[in-house]
Structure 1
């Protein structure tokens, strides 16, 4: 039998957000990977090949826009949906500029997190 667990990567430097999202998503049957920076992002994502990526705007070192654009320029990774998330009031614009499929404004409630993930996965 093959493992059909869906995989998600969360890039965020806020440990509280990572632990909350990790807990909620694992409860929902996701295999969750978290990173507090976006260094060597193509290698990390290629090694996991997730179904969805959650990307923070202020992720060190390059930032969410550059990180997302890097993924979207990589043939093997560009089809992985990216959910951009930030407390920035311009999040819709930032997500669009980054090339993300959708966005989630912080602070968010858990129902909203699940709803947004389900729209892309």
Structure 2
């Protein structure tokens, strides 16, 4: 029996980042969903229930921190690991303030992206 595709949602308003990340992850067998804003975030995430979420700090309209906190307050969504990504120098603080599992500083290379994703998936399943 084939393994079901792992699903990921990327929230970023930078189309270049979305297309690069989507391409790389789809090559690796992921089912990728992307959104350029975080409005009504629960309505976006619930139908998909991804294995992991990538969250940009500067996502319209509310911003990544509010969006992540909203997810973490929802019982049916709070188990989904969120990887916070941003070019801010204080990304570590932002990520912990948001309640994200981990973070990825921009600009990142694709090895970093893959490493961070596989790290949250391994810790998550234990």
User: In 1, distance between residues paired with 2:103 and 2:69?
Assistant: 15
- Aligned residue in 2 for 1:117: 117
**Cα distance in structure 2, aligned partners of 1:14 and 1:104:** 15
Deviation of 1:96 after TM superposition, in Å, equals 0.2
What is aligned with 1:68?
Answer: 68
CA offsets per residue over residues 38-73 of structure 1, 9 Å max, x none? 011001100100000000000000000000000000
Question: Is 1:53 aligned with 2:17?
Answer: no
Question: How many residues of Structure 1 are paired with residues of Structure 2 in the alignment?
Answer: 121
Residue 87 of structure 1 corresponds to: 87
What is the aligned partner in structure 1 of residue 23 from structure 2?
A: 23
Given the two structures, how large is their TM-score scaled by the length of structure 1? Answer: 0.98
Q: For structure 2, which runs of at least 5 residues remain unmatched after alignment?
A: 122-126
User: RMSD of the alignment, in Å?
Assistant: 0.9
How far 1:89 moved relative to its partner?
A: 0.3
Question: Tell me, what secondary structure is at the counterpart of 2:38?
Answer: coil
Q: Secondary structure at the match of 2:46?
A: helix
Moved over 3 A (4+): none
Secondary structure in 2 matching 1:25: helix
The answer as to 2:78 corresponding to 1:78 is yes
Cα deviation per residue 1:59-117 (whole Å; 9 max; x = unaligned)?
00000000000000000000000000000000000000000000000000000000000
State the distance in 2 between where 1:117 and 1:3 align.
Answer: 18
**1:33 pairs with 2:30:** no
Separation in 1, partners of 2:59, 2:118: 23
